[in-house]
Amino acid sequence: MKEDQPIIEQRTKESLFSDSNNAEQRRTLHLFNCGRSYKLDPVVALLAAMKPKLGSDPVVEKYYFSRAQMSEMTTTTIPKLQMDMAFFVVHAHESRLSINEDNAGIGYAKIYRALLKAAGKY
């Protein structure tokens, strides 16, 4: 998929484990990545290896989005999601990411805050 495609086309939905129960009874886990800087499949594999600790078979939704789509993600997409759990996966070369500082209102901080808000934590 190309990075400039609409978000809805870049989203995939899958069950973590093959012996899953009815999808309506499962929790929803969202994985987010900006700029395709990291493939989300290894995260899905890690979560699958943690099946005994998770105690359920969540439905996984993966979201790849570009920097140009970040505002749409924070104002339109994320607030509409039913969110049991979410991961914002980054592959950063910076010495630190200021995503949770009060004065960090740009870049990844916007996604982090939108996820906190959707989870009822902000």
Strands (E), 47-84: 59-65
Which pLDDT score is estimated for 94? 63
pTM of the model: 0.74
Sheet holding 28-34, edge to edge: 12-15, 59-65, 28-34, 85-88
Q: Quick check: 2 pLDDT over 70? A: no
At 59-89, the pLDDT tens digits run 889 999 998 998 899 999 999 998 888 999 8
At 94-107, the pLDDT tens digits run 666 677 666 655 67
Asked whether 57 and 94 are in contact (CB, 8 A), the reply is no
Which pLDDT score is estimated for 1? 46
Which pLDDT score is estimated for 6? 47
Report how far apart, in Å, the C-alpha atoms of 23 and of each of 60, 84, 110 are: 11, 14, 30
Between 29 and 95, where is the model more confident? 29
Domain boundaries, the chain: 7-118
Which pLDDT score is estimated for 9? 43
Which pLDDT score is estimated for 23? 44
Long-range CB contacts for residues 100-108, cutoff 8 Å, separation at least 24:
107/70, 108/34
**Mean pLDDT, residues 28-54:** 87
CA dihedral 26, 119, 43, 77 (to 10 degrees): 90
Residue 101 amino acid letter: E
